[in-house]
Structures are given as C-alpha cells and as structure tokens.
Chains A and B, each alone.
Chain A
C-alpha cells in the first residue's frame, strides 16, 4: 500500500513540477516580449519622429526575477535573459549608448539615436 501511495504521489509531483516549469517559462517569455515591445517602440518612435526628439522611458528591472540586457545591432533589438532571447526589428543599425533596465532617455540628433 505504501508503495502504491508513493507511486501516485511521485507521478503527480512530476506532472506538477513539469507543468510549473513550463508555465514559468511561458510567463517569462511573455514578460520578455512585453519589455522588448516597449524598447523597440521607443527606438522606432525616436527614429520616425526625427531630429530633436527626446523622451524618457522606464523599463522593468527584471524579467520575472532574472536580469536582462538589450542590444541594438544590424537593425535588430535583442533582449537577452538567462539563455533565451527575444528579437524585434527596429530598422536602425545601432544606437549610441545602451538601453538599460530602469530609467532611459532616448534622443534623435540629426537622425542618429542616443540613449543615456
């Protein structure tokens, strides 16, 4: 009887843990998508608004407890957290400065984008 009960518990525990991990990863991916959308929108808006545009924006500190980085290169914005990435098309080859967690200010000067 003990073996039966342990078998049932072990089986369900495995199911629960696997499901919990999958759910956590899904939520992380959606949160990362949310942050990448915001960052890419700010870059696109700065590019299309042209020279003289300035705007402050704030990105979340973490992707559900995990630090992340944002890199813009070759027309793509890449949000990297843990061993996973989200990629967005932002057209610009690069921005001067880094988009970081927390406070950012983006500027367009003569078509060049600056972030500080």
Chain B
C-alpha cells in the first residue's frame, strides 16, 4: 500500500476547477453588487440635480434678472415665484442645447429636456410648443422633476407643470 498522499490526480484537478469556478462566481456577484450601488448613487445625484434645476427655473428670474439669450449666466423663468414669463421663454427659444447646459451649470455629458405641460401634453402658447432640449435616446440614466406653475402668456394665466428631464 502506498504511503504517499494525493498530490496531483484527477480528483485534485476537479476540485481545483470547482474551487476556481466558485471564486469566479463570487467575484462576479460582488462586482455586480458594486455596479448596482454605483448606479443607485448616480441616480440619486442626478435626481438631486434635476430637483435643483427645476427649483431655479420656477422660483427665480435667472441671472441677470433681465437676462437675454446673449448674456444669461443662470437660467430662471419665473417672476414672481412660480409664474413663468413669456419674454424669458422667448429668449430660451433662441438658446442652443449647449447654451442651456451652460446656463444651468450642467456638464457636457448631461442632456436636458424642459417641458411645460398642461394635464395631458406639452403646452402650446403663442404659436409654439413650450419644450426645449433633446428628448432621451438610448439613455442609461433618466431623472425627472416636476413643479406646478402659472404660465403668463397672451395676457392670460394658465396652469401648467414644468417637467425637467435629465438624462445621459
């Protein structure tokens, strides 16, 4: 009878193979959990950002207060609080997506849609739709914030909702 222990046999190769597979599965599960956590945190940050942008748009006149498309530093559409001004939306019409991103302090990787809706669809005022930006396409992360407003247009106040959609 041999007194030597198992050194390298079929049993060993099989058990080593199973061992490596188990470690691999553990690693993949662990990596996936981290990716999920990163995704959740990124969504939280984006949700915060959309909330802040919506607040600036509907609670402030922007900066400078009488801003135009050519000199805007911070975008704001309301004067007073929660009343959107037609003149400011006219200026917003003249701004590109990059201009809007810049005036909202967004990075170039972030995209935005600003949509003023009534209960069912985008509001149509003075011959134009109140929507700006680029709609989400193949987005990894999307975040939406909504605020109720009055729209001051054609000398008549209309109830609406500002919907800010951030995506990347």
B156 at the interface (CB under 8 A from A): no
Checking A15, A19, A44 against B105 with a beta-carbon cut-off of 8 angstroms, the contacting residue is A44
- A33-41, A66-74, A96-104: which lies at the interface: A33-41
Q: Which of chain A's residues have a CB closer than 8 A to the CB of B157?
A: none
CA distance A47 to B59 in the complex (A): 12
Q: Is the CB of A91 within 8 A of B8?
A: no
Q: Is the CB of B63 within 8 A of A91?
A: yes
Q: Which of chain A's residues have a CB closer than 8 A to the CB of B56?
A: 41, 44-45, 48
The contact string, 1 if C-beta is below 8 Å from chain A, for chain B 23-35, is 1000100110010
Chain B count of residues within 8 A CB distance of the other chain: 33
- Chain B interface main SS type: helix
- B39-47, B113-121, B145-153: which lies at the interface: B39-47
CA distance A48 to B74 in the complex (A): 8
- Residues of A6-56 contacting chain B, CB below 8 A: 8, 12, 15-16, 19, 23, 26-27, 30-31, 33-34, 37-38, 40-41, 44-45, 47-50
Interface size on A, as a range, is 20 to 34
Checking B34, B42, B60, B62 against A23 with a beta-carbon cut-off of 8 angstroms, the contacting residue is B34
20 more contacts with CB within 8 A, not counting A48-B60, A48-B62, A48-B76, are A8-B16, A8-B19, A12-B23, A15-B27, A19-B27, A19-B34, A23-B37, A27-B37, A27-B41, A30-B45, A31-B41, A33-B45, A34-B45, A37-B48, A44-B74, A44-B105, A45-B55, A45-B56, A47-B63, A48-B65
Q: Which A residues are within 8 Å of any B CB, using their own CB?
A: 1, 4, 8, 12, 15-16, 19, 23, 26-27, 30-31, 33-34, 37-38, 40-41, 44-45, 47-50, 88-91
Task: Sort A-B residue pairs by CB-CB distance and give the 7 closest, nearest first.
Answer: A48-B60, A41-B52, A23-B34, A30-B41, A91-B73, A89-B105, A48-B63
